[in-house]
Amino acid sequence: MLSVTNLNASIGPIPIIRGATLSVNDGEMCGLIGRNGAGKTTLFRALMGAVPATGKAELEHVDLLALPPHRRIAHGVGYMPEDRRLVPEFTVEENIRLPTWSVAVDRAEDRLKWIFSIMPEVERFRVRRALELSGGQQKMVALARALMAGTRILFLDEPFEGLAPALARRLGEVLANLKSEGVSVLIAESNEVHVLDLLARAYFIERGTVSDKRKSA
Ligand code: ATP
């Protein structure tokens, strides 16, 4: 369903991602495991159009790399950045609805209801401003926002990073439920312990190179 082929991405003059090839099947939860600085964020940012890239990234026969960033979101890609990027002054609900302000999301009201049904804790603080939430709660909201646009696939960048154990367990439950909903997900993690139970498969990234086998211990 998502098929990335020979993707190269640079930051300024520095090549960061080198010939990345990977795929995520329909409804599959797939890992992208690599230590800090390996290139996970840069790969996601390249797929979202925030970093220039060459190669191909076909999602349902459309090459994401050929689309401007907002059209990638409109094509059903949801992105949860590692640093959340919520608008602090907006309410939780406004943050979740944000993608629908710039692109048409199919049956957005039903989708919001569905998101609240799988994350009732997020519904409970829907009227609070994002800045009033803890970092961990903000991560849940960032996942909810990714789900709003991510009708085809979600890119989750270190969703467990910095979460207290109780919230990490809860996030694990939410992601496990997503599996039964048939959502395709690519999850980047530096510590695969958090995600091993969730993943169908994993890729490993080291110094910008992606492989389906771990290269070093
Ligand atoms: P982390 O979890 O620490 O963010 P990561 O696997 O997501 O790790 P990236 O953030 O993609 O890694 O970084 C990959 C490489 O690109 C690193 O060597 C990093 O130093 C470099 N890099 C990232 N951003 C920039 C930048 N703005 N300018 C120069 N180099 C950068």
pLDDT in tens, 23-54: 999 999 999 999 999 999 999 999 999 999 99
CB of 16 within 6 A of ligand 1: the answer is yes
- Confidence at residue 216, expressed as pLDDT on a 0 to 100 scale: 62
CATH fold label, 2-211? Rossmann fold (3.40.50)
Rounded Cα gap, residues 171 and 99, in angstroms? 22
Chain-wide mean pLDDT for the chain? 92
* Contact (CB, 8 A) for 135 and 124: no
Instruction: Give 132's Cβ-side CA count (13 Å radius).
Output: 10
Tokens in use for 55? 């190669």
- Confidence at residue 60, expressed as pLDDT on a 0 to 100 scale: 93
In the chain, which residue ranges form alpha helices assigned H by DSSP? 40-48, 69-74, 92-102, 108-118, 120-124, 135-149, 165-180
- Confidence at residue 155, expressed as pLDDT on a 0 to 100 scale: 97
CB of 17 within 6 A of ligand 1: the answer is no
Overall average pLDDT of the 177-198 stretch: 89
Overall average pLDDT of the 102-125 stretch: 89
Rounded Cα gap, residues 157 and 189, in angstroms? 7
CB of 162 within 6 A of ligand 1: the answer is no
- Confidence at residue 191, expressed as pLDDT on a 0 to 100 scale: 86
* Residue from 14, 16, 190, 191 to probe ligand 1 pocket by mutation (most atoms less than 8 Å from CB): 16
CB of 42 within 6 A of ligand 1: the answer is yes
